[in-house]
């Protein structure tokens, strides 16, 4: 039997409908959610993502600014800009699009964003709050994964979740979120022996390694939920995930496609974080 598709685009659209209702309520209290997106350089993919973030703001009725800086901008210039927006009350979220040009230290930039406006959830204090279970702005792709699971009736509680990948942006935070949702979590990585055997023990398998079509049907327990966070560009220009989608389709119970699975959730969860930050500004 063929796996059920987890349709990220549809789920993302329905979350945006929910956000619109909350934005109306907030506007009645005199607050419009505001997001600033900063792009340094001209990376083509980043330009698309930044444009899509601005479009999402427009769709949801947010105030938004996109600041485009030349690739040769200095770290100091970027820090000064962040400092300005940290102090600007109509801005509830500040996002610096990654990757940054090599001469700018990513950590210095992330650390400079006020934790209250850290809608990417990358600031060390946000990460710490996630670890200890305090209220935090959560990183967008990992929280999108949790929404996909919950909204398809795949509650992680009591399940064995295996996460392949240990990046700060996806692998580690998604593992913490799954733990917070009462899953038993195993984190695997490039030095894990018997990766296929580990993966095949998962009720929920989350893959975020950046290796095209790594996960084959032998890695998947029959009926498992397979969440593919990978986004790899093939030589023919097509996008594919870290999971060999066609191969696992007759083994998995549920699977995310690439494109159209996890990807669309990233910007929607950014919008949810900006709303949350704006709501917090009232309390």
Tokens of 6: 């987890």
Q: Reduce the secondary structure of 74-110 to three states and give it as a string.
A: CHHHHHHHHHHHHCCCCCCEEEECCCCCCCCCHHHHH
Q: Give the range of 26-34, 36-44, 254-262, 268-276 binding Mg ion by CB under 5 A.
A: 254-262
Q: Whose CA is closest to 124, among 149, 142, 106, 141?
A: 106
**Which range touches ligand LMY7XDAE (CB under 6 A), out of 70-78, 84-92, 192-200, 264-272?**
264-272
Active site residue 217: no
Question: Which of the residues 53, 117, 159, 276 is marked catalytic?
Answer: 53
- Rounded Cα distance between 174 and 143, Å, is 7
Other beta carbons less than 10 A from residue 221's beta carbon = 19
Stretch 140-179 residues interacting with ligand LMY7XDAE (CB under 6 A): 140-141
Q: Is 268 in the site for ligand LMY7XDAE (CB under 6 A)?
A: no
Give the Cβ contact number of residue 35 at 10 Å.
28
Asked whether position 41 contacts ligand LMY7XDAE by CB under 6 A, the answer is: no
Q: Which is nearer to ligand LMY7XDAE, 26 or 140 (CB)?
A: 140
114 labelled binding-site residue: no
Residue 194 CB neighbour total at 10 angstroms: 9
Consult the annotation and say whether 133 binds a ligand. Answer: no
CB under 5 to 8 A by kind: which of Mg ion, ligand LMY7XDAE, none does 15 bind?
Answer: none
121 binds ligand LMY7XDAE (CB under 6 A): no
Contacts of 131 (CB under 8 A, 6+ apart): 176
**263 touches Mg ion (CB under 5 A):** yes
Binding site for Mg ion (CB under 5 A): 258, 261-263
Active site residues: 53, 97, 120
């Amino acid at each position: 039997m063929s796996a059920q598709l987890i349709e990220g685009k549809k789920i993302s659209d329905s979350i945006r409908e929910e956000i619109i209702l909350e934005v109306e309520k907030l506007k009645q209290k005199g607050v419009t959610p505001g997001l600033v997106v900063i792009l340094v350089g001209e990376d083509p993919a980043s330009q698309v993502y930044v444009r899509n973030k601005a479009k999402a703001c427009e769709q949801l009725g947010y105030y938004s600014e996109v600041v485009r800086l030349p690739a040769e901008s200095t770290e100091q210039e970027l820090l000064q800009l962040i400092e300005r927006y940290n102090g600007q009350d109509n801005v509830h979220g500040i996002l610096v699009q990654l990757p940054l040009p090599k001469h700018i230290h990513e950590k210095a930039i992330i650390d400079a964003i006020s934790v209250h406006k850290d809608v990417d959830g990358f600031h060390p204090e946000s990460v710490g709050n996630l670890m200890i279970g305090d209220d935090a702005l959560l990183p967008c792709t990992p929280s999108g994964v949790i929404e996909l699971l919950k909204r398809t009736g795949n509650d992680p509680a009591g399940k064995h979740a295996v996460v392949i990948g240990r990046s700060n942006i996806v692998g580690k935070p998604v593992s913490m979120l799954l733990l917070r949702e009462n899953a038993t979590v195993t984190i695997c990585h490039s030095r894990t022996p018997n990766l296929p055997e580990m993966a095949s023990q998962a009720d929920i398998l989350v893959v975020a390694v950046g290796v095209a079509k790594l996960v084959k049907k032998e890695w998947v327990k029959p009926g498992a939920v397979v969440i593919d966070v990978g986004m790899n560009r093939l030589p023919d220009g097509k996008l594919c995930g870290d999971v060999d989608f066609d191969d696992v389709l007759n083994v998995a119970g549920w699977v995310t496609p690439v494109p159209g699975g996890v990807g669309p959730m990233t910007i929607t969860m950014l919008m949810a974080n900006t709303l949350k930050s704006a709501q917090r500004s009232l309390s």
